[in-house]
Amino acid sequence: MDEINPTNETMTMRDLEIFKANQIDGKTLDKTAEIVGVSRKTVSRTKSKVSYHELAQAALEQKGLTVDVYAGKLIEKLDARKGVNYDGERIEEDDNVAQMTALKEVAQIYGVHAPREIDLKHSLASASDEELDQNLADAAARLGVGSQCEYSIDAATEEDSGLEIQGDVL
């Protein structure tokens, strides 16, 4: 197994050019697209490849940025301070922006976000009973309540404004 590409997955020359411009040289998506001669969408698609992420991770680890180092720096940022001038005197105060950014990152790592409210009425109304049944079963499995969750789908008619889905966790 190759140390820089752990999966030994083949990357195209263009993928490597995108990786170099975006990750190593630190260019934005737009600038990377311009340098490599591709669209911004192509850069985004390339960045979502498993091999791209593994390549980026391996490159970071070779430069000393391991998960432990990252976690340590993130924890330090939770108590970040900054110097400001107040009446001609230099004082230190909490860097609220850096602290909040770090806190948001920690929340993302732990998955503690407020749920997003999504209006499913339209997409549910156009789905078949089989699709709804599969989606509900998948959701119950992801929640870890697969066999403990009962639900029923009431058939929609043309007069209905949508579907009514009822569910109770036992």
Residue 138 C-beta-side C-alpha neighbours within 13 Å:
6
pLDDT score, position 72: 92
Instruction: Tell me which of 12 and 160 has the higher pLDDT.
Output: 12
Q: Which residues contact 101 (CB under 8 A, 6 or more apart)?
A: 77
Instruction: Tell me which of 27 and 90 has the higher pLDDT.
Output: 90
Q: Look up residue 23 and give its DSSP letter.
A: I
* pTM of the model as a whole: 0.42
Q: Would you tell me how many other CB atoms lie within 10 Å of the CB of residue 78?
A: 14
Rounded mean pLDDT, 33-51: 84
Do 30 and 42 form a contact (C-beta atoms < 8 A)?
Answer: no
- Token couple for 76: 């330090």
pLDDT score, position 56: 77
Q: Is the pLDDT of residue 3 over 90?
A: no
Q: How far apart are CA 103 and CA 75, in angstroms?
A: 9
Rounded mean pLDDT, 88-95: 94
Q: How far apart are CA 161 and CA 119, in angstroms?
A: 14
Q: pLDDT per residue over 121-134, tens digit each?
A: 655 666 677 777 78
Q: How much of the chain, in percent, has pLDDT values that exceed 90? A: 18
Q: How far apart are CA 164 and CA 153, in angstroms?
A: 7
Q: How far apart are CA 55 and CA 31, in angstroms?
A: 20
Q: Look up residue 65 and give its DSSP letter.
A: -
Q: pLDDT per residue over 131-154, tens digit each?
A: 777 877 777 777 776 555 565 555
pLDDT score, position 82: 94
